[in-house]
Amino acid sequence: MQGFDPATSFGASVAQRYDDQPRGDEADAVAFLADVARGRPALEFAIGTGRIALPLHAAGTAVDGIELSPDMLARLRQKPGGADLAVICGDMASATTGRTYGLVYLVFNTIFNLLSADDQIRCFANAARHLDADGCFVVETALPHAWIAPGTADYVHAEQIGLDAITLDVARYDPVTQLLTENHVRISAAGIRLTPIVCRLITPGEMDLMARIAGLHLLARYADWRRGAFDIRSTAHVSVYGF
Protein backbone atom coordinates (compact mmCIF):
# COMPACT_ATOMS: atom_id res chain seq x y z
CA MET A 1 0.00 0.00 0.00
CA GLN A 2 1.77 3.11 -1.21
CA GLY A 3 2.43 5.60 1.58
CA PHE A 4 1.59 3.13 4.37
CA ASP A 5 3.53 3.87 7.55
CA PRO A 6 3.45 1.10 10.21
CA ALA A 7 4.29 3.69 12.86
CA THR A 8 0.99 5.49 12.28
CA SER A 9 -1.33 2.51 11.71
CA PHE A 10 -2.22 2.53 15.43
CA GLY A 11 -2.82 6.28 15.60
CA ALA A 12 -5.06 8.40 17.80
CA SER A 13 -8.46 7.28 16.48
CA VAL A 14 -7.54 3.56 16.53
CA ALA A 15 -6.13 3.97 20.06
CA GLN A 16 -9.34 5.62 21.28
CA ARG A 17 -11.49 2.78 19.89
CA TYR A 18 -9.07 -0.10 20.54
CA ASP A 19 -10.65 -1.37 23.77
CA ASP A 20 -14.29 -0.91 22.69
CA GLN A 21 -14.64 -4.54 21.62
CA PRO A 22 -12.33 -6.76 23.70
CA ARG A 23 -11.04 -9.83 21.90
CA GLY A 24 -12.35 -12.10 24.64
CA ASP A 25 -9.19 -14.15 25.29
CA GLU A 26 -7.79 -11.86 27.99
CA ALA A 27 -8.43 -14.08 31.05
CA ASP A 28 -7.03 -17.21 29.37
CA ALA A 29 -3.98 -15.34 28.04
CA VAL A 30 -3.24 -13.83 31.45
CA ALA A 31 -3.54 -17.23 33.18
CA PHE A 32 -1.18 -18.83 30.62
CA LEU A 33 1.40 -16.03 30.78
CA ALA A 34 1.35 -15.85 34.59
CA ASP A 35 1.97 -19.59 34.66
CA VAL A 36 5.01 -19.28 32.35
CA ALA A 37 6.33 -16.23 34.24
CA ARG A 38 6.26 -18.10 37.58
CA GLY A 39 6.40 -14.84 39.53
CA ARG A 40 9.31 -13.44 37.52
CA PRO A 41 9.05 -10.04 35.79
CA ALA A 42 7.76 -9.98 32.20
CA LEU A 43 8.23 -7.79 29.14
CA GLU A 44 5.48 -7.31 26.54
CA PHE A 45 6.58 -6.42 23.02
CA ALA A 46 3.95 -4.14 21.41
CA ILE A 47 2.10 -3.65 24.69
CA GLY A 48 -0.56 -1.46 23.06
CA THR A 49 -3.16 -0.11 25.49
CA GLY A 50 -2.33 -2.80 28.05
CA ARG A 51 -5.18 -5.17 27.16
CA ILE A 52 -3.07 -8.09 28.48
CA ALA A 53 -0.35 -6.29 30.45
CA LEU A 54 -2.69 -4.51 32.87
CA PRO A 55 -4.59 -7.60 34.08
CA LEU A 56 -1.33 -9.63 34.12
CA HIS A 57 0.30 -6.93 36.25
CA ALA A 58 -2.76 -6.79 38.52
CA ALA A 59 -2.56 -10.58 38.93
CA GLY A 60 0.97 -10.29 40.38
CA THR A 61 3.41 -10.42 37.42
CA ALA A 62 5.42 -7.21 37.08
CA VAL A 63 5.19 -6.13 33.42
CA ASP A 64 7.35 -3.71 31.39
CA GLY A 65 6.62 -2.88 27.76
CA ILE A 66 7.89 -1.69 24.39
CA GLU A 67 5.42 0.06 22.08
CA LEU A 68 5.84 1.88 18.77
CA SER A 69 2.71 4.05 18.82
CA PRO A 70 2.70 7.10 21.12
CA ASP A 71 -1.11 7.14 20.81
CA MET A 72 -1.52 3.55 22.06
CA LEU A 73 0.94 4.38 24.83
CA ALA A 74 -1.01 7.50 25.81
CA ARG A 75 -4.19 5.42 26.02
CA LEU A 76 -2.38 2.88 28.25
CA ARG A 77 -1.24 5.68 30.53
CA GLN A 78 -4.84 6.95 30.92
CA LYS A 79 -6.11 3.57 32.13
CA PRO A 80 -6.12 2.62 35.83
CA GLY A 81 -2.65 1.28 36.68
CA GLY A 82 -1.31 2.19 33.23
CA ALA A 83 1.01 4.90 34.49
CA ASP A 84 2.67 2.36 36.84
CA LEU A 85 4.14 0.27 34.02
CA ALA A 86 7.62 1.06 32.66
CA VAL A 87 7.08 1.30 28.90
CA ILE A 88 9.57 2.41 26.27
CA CYS A 89 8.32 4.01 23.07
CA GLY A 90 10.26 2.21 20.34
CA ASP A 91 10.54 -0.63 17.85
CA MET A 92 10.29 -4.12 19.36
CA ALA A 93 12.86 -5.32 16.80
CA SER A 94 15.56 -3.11 18.30
CA ALA A 95 14.54 -1.15 21.42
CA THR A 96 15.84 -2.34 24.76
CA THR A 97 14.84 -1.87 28.38
CA GLY A 98 18.40 -2.75 29.39
CA ARG A 99 17.49 -5.74 31.55
CA THR A 100 16.31 -9.36 31.30
CA TYR A 101 13.05 -11.12 32.20
CA GLY A 102 11.65 -14.55 32.93
CA LEU A 103 9.05 -13.97 30.23
CA VAL A 104 8.95 -11.93 27.02
CA TYR A 105 5.68 -12.16 25.09
CA LEU A 106 4.24 -10.92 21.81
CA VAL A 107 0.55 -11.65 21.24
CA PHE A 108 -2.43 -10.95 18.96
CA ASN A 109 -0.62 -11.61 15.63
CA THR A 110 1.69 -8.66 16.23
CA ILE A 111 4.90 -10.31 14.92
CA PHE A 112 3.04 -9.90 11.57
CA ASN A 113 3.24 -6.11 11.99
CA LEU A 114 6.93 -6.28 11.12
CA LEU A 115 6.94 -6.17 7.33
CA SER A 116 10.15 -7.95 6.35
CA ALA A 117 11.77 -11.26 7.27
CA ASP A 118 14.82 -9.32 8.47
CA ASP A 119 12.76 -7.29 10.95
CA GLN A 120 10.94 -10.40 12.17
CA ILE A 121 14.31 -12.15 12.70
CA ARG A 122 15.62 -9.07 14.54
CA CYS A 123 12.53 -9.21 16.75
CA PHE A 124 13.28 -12.79 17.79
CA ALA A 125 16.91 -11.76 18.48
CA ASN A 126 15.69 -8.82 20.56
CA ALA A 127 13.42 -11.12 22.57
CA ALA A 128 16.35 -13.48 23.22
CA ARG A 129 18.45 -10.49 24.33
CA HIS A 130 15.83 -9.68 26.99
CA LEU A 131 15.50 -13.22 28.39
CA ASP A 132 16.98 -14.67 31.58
CA ALA A 133 18.95 -17.89 30.92
CA ASP A 134 15.83 -19.92 31.80
CA GLY A 135 13.36 -17.37 30.44
CA CYS A 136 10.68 -18.00 27.79
CA PHE A 137 9.50 -16.08 24.73
CA VAL A 138 5.78 -16.63 24.03
CA VAL A 139 4.36 -15.75 20.62
CA GLU A 140 0.69 -15.98 19.61
CA THR A 141 -0.58 -15.68 16.03
CA ALA A 142 -3.16 -16.98 13.62
CA LEU A 143 -2.04 -19.51 11.01
CA PRO A 144 -1.70 -17.82 7.61
CA HIS A 145 -3.96 -20.38 5.89
CA ALA A 146 -6.76 -19.49 8.34
CA TRP A 147 -6.71 -15.92 7.00
CA ILE A 148 -5.89 -16.55 3.36
CA ALA A 149 -7.17 -19.57 1.48
CA PRO A 150 -4.43 -20.92 -0.85
CA GLY A 151 -4.63 -19.23 -4.23
CA THR A 152 -6.53 -16.22 -2.91
CA ALA A 153 -5.29 -12.85 -4.11
CA ASP A 154 -7.92 -10.13 -3.58
CA TYR A 155 -11.03 -10.36 -1.42
CA VAL A 156 -13.71 -8.36 0.33
CA HIS A 157 -15.06 -9.77 3.58
CA ALA A 158 -18.19 -8.45 5.30
CA GLU A 159 -16.81 -7.99 8.82
CA GLN A 160 -19.83 -6.37 10.45
CA ILE A 161 -23.28 -5.88 9.04
CA GLY A 162 -25.49 -3.61 11.14
CA LEU A 163 -28.66 -1.66 10.56
CA ASP A 164 -26.84 1.67 10.62
CA ALA A 165 -23.31 0.71 9.67
CA ILE A 166 -21.26 -1.93 7.87
CA THR A 167 -17.56 -2.75 7.99
CA LEU A 168 -15.84 -4.35 5.00
CA ASP A 169 -12.34 -5.81 5.03
CA VAL A 170 -10.86 -5.09 1.60
CA ALA A 171 -7.66 -7.09 1.20
CA ARG A 172 -4.94 -8.30 -1.14
CA TYR A 173 -2.35 -10.99 -0.44
CA ASP A 174 0.99 -11.17 -2.23
CA PRO A 175 2.53 -14.63 -1.79
CA VAL A 176 5.92 -13.36 -2.98
CA THR A 177 6.37 -10.79 -0.22
CA GLN A 178 3.93 -12.59 2.13
CA LEU A 179 2.31 -9.20 2.69
CA LEU A 180 -1.41 -8.98 3.41
CA THR A 181 -2.56 -5.45 2.61
CA GLU A 182 -5.93 -4.56 4.12
CA ASN A 183 -8.20 -1.60 4.57
CA HIS A 184 -11.11 -1.87 6.99
CA VAL A 185 -13.86 0.31 5.55
CA ARG A 186 -16.64 1.41 7.90
CA ILE A 187 -19.63 2.97 6.18
CA SER A 188 -22.28 4.69 8.30
CA ALA A 189 -24.44 7.82 8.35
CA ALA A 190 -21.41 9.61 9.87
CA GLY A 191 -19.44 8.91 6.69
CA ILE A 192 -16.70 6.51 5.60
CA ARG A 193 -13.80 5.63 7.88
CA LEU A 194 -10.70 3.85 6.52
CA THR A 195 -8.37 1.85 8.79
CA PRO A 196 -5.43 0.53 6.73
CA ILE A 197 -2.99 -2.10 7.92
CA VAL A 198 -0.29 -4.27 6.32
CA CYS A 199 0.88 -7.56 7.84
CA ARG A 200 3.62 -10.02 6.86
CA LEU A 201 2.21 -13.50 7.44
CA ILE A 202 4.59 -16.23 8.59
CA THR A 203 4.01 -19.85 9.51
CA PRO A 204 4.97 -21.52 12.80
CA GLY A 205 7.81 -23.27 10.94
CA GLU A 206 9.29 -19.95 9.82
CA MET A 207 9.04 -18.69 13.40
CA ASP A 208 10.88 -21.78 14.64
CA LEU A 209 13.74 -21.01 12.23
CA MET A 210 13.79 -17.34 13.29
CA ALA A 211 13.96 -18.54 16.88
CA ARG A 212 16.88 -20.85 16.06
CA ILE A 213 18.76 -17.94 14.45
CA ALA A 214 18.27 -16.11 17.77
CA GLY A 215 19.64 -19.10 19.71
CA LEU A 216 16.19 -20.20 20.91
CA HIS A 217 14.24 -23.39 20.27
CA LEU A 218 10.63 -24.44 20.54
CA LEU A 219 9.65 -25.76 23.98
CA ALA A 220 5.90 -26.15 23.44
CA ARG A 221 3.17 -25.26 20.95
CA TYR A 222 -0.56 -25.13 21.63
CA ALA A 223 -3.64 -24.29 19.59
CA ASP A 224 -4.81 -21.68 22.11
CA TRP A 225 -4.22 -20.17 25.53
CA ARG A 226 -5.96 -23.14 27.19
CA ARG A 227 -3.21 -25.44 25.91
CA GLY A 228 -5.48 -27.11 23.35
CA ALA A 229 -3.67 -29.65 21.14
CA PHE A 230 -2.02 -28.07 18.09
CA ASP A 231 -3.15 -30.21 15.16
CA ILE A 232 -4.51 -30.17 11.62
CA ARG A 233 -7.68 -28.34 12.74
CA SER A 234 -5.78 -25.53 14.42
CA THR A 235 -6.26 -22.00 13.13
CA ALA A 236 -3.85 -20.32 15.54
CA HIS A 237 -0.91 -21.15 17.79
CA VAL A 238 0.65 -20.17 21.06
CA SER A 239 4.36 -21.05 20.91
CA VAL A 240 6.83 -21.08 23.78
CA TYR A 241 10.56 -20.68 23.03
CA GLY A 242 13.57 -20.93 25.34
CA PHE A 243 17.36 -21.36 25.15
Ligand X SMILES: C[S@@+](CC[C@H](N)C(=O)[O-])C[C@H]1O[C@@H](n2cnc3c(N)ncnc32)[C@H](O)[C@@H]1O
Rounded CA gap, 77 and 15, in Å? 12
The residue (of 25 and 102) whose beta carbon lies closer to ligand X is: 25
**Using CB under 6 A, which of the segments 42-50, 80-88, 174-182, 221-229 binds ligand X?**
42-50
Q: Which of 113, 120, 126, 239 binds ligand X (CB under 6 A)?
A: 113
CB of 189 to ligand X, least distance (A): 28
Q: Which of residues 122-141 bind ligand X (CB under 6 A)?
A: none
Q: Which of residues 157-176 bind ligand X (CB under 6 A)?
A: none
The residue (of 3 and 191) whose beta carbon lies closer to ligand X is: 3
**Using CB under 6 A, which of the segments 89-97, 145-153, 168-176, 183-191 binds ligand X?**
89-97
**Using CB under 6 A, which of the segments 60-68, 145-153, 158-166, 187-195 binds ligand X?**
60-68
The residue (of 114 and 207) whose beta carbon lies closer to ligand X is: 114
Query: Residue 120, interface with ligand X (CB under 6 A)?
Result: no
Burial class (CB in 10 A: 0-12, 13-18, 19+), 38: exposed
Query: Residue 51, interface with ligand X (CB under 6 A)?
Result: yes
Rounded CA gap, 13 and 53, in Å? 21
Q: Which of 63, 66, 138, 201 binds ligand X (CB under 6 A)?
A: 66
CB of 181 to ligand X, least distance (A): 16
Query: Residue 121, interface with ligand X (CB under 6 A)?
Result: no
CB of 119 to ligand X, least distance (A): 7
Query: Residue 107, interface with ligand X (CB under 6 A)?
Result: yes
In which element (H, E) is residue 121 found?
helix 117-129
Dihedral of the alpha carbons of 27, 31, 64, 127, in degrees to the nearest 10: -120
Closest among 219, 85, 212, 65 to 130, alpha carbons compared: 65
Query: Residue 225, interface with ligand X (CB under 6 A)?
Result: no
Closest among 45, 106, 54, 61 to 83, alpha carbons compared: 54
Angle of CA points 95, 98, 102, to nearest 5°? 100
Strands (E), 11-148: 42-45, 63-67, 87-89, 101-106, 131-142
Q: Which of 4, 6, 166, 227 binds ligand X (CB under 6 A)?
A: 6
Query: Residue 243, interface with ligand X (CB under 6 A)?
Result: no
Q: Please say whether the dihedral angle defined by the alpha carbons of residues 34, 36, 41 and 42, taken in this order, is positive or negative.
A: negative
Whether the Cβ atoms of residue 13 and residue 33 lie closer than 8 Å to each other: no
Which residues make beta-bridge pairs with 186?
167, 193
Contact residues for ligand X (CB under 6 A)?
6, 10, 46-48, 51-52, 66-69, 72, 91-93, 107-108, 110, 113-114
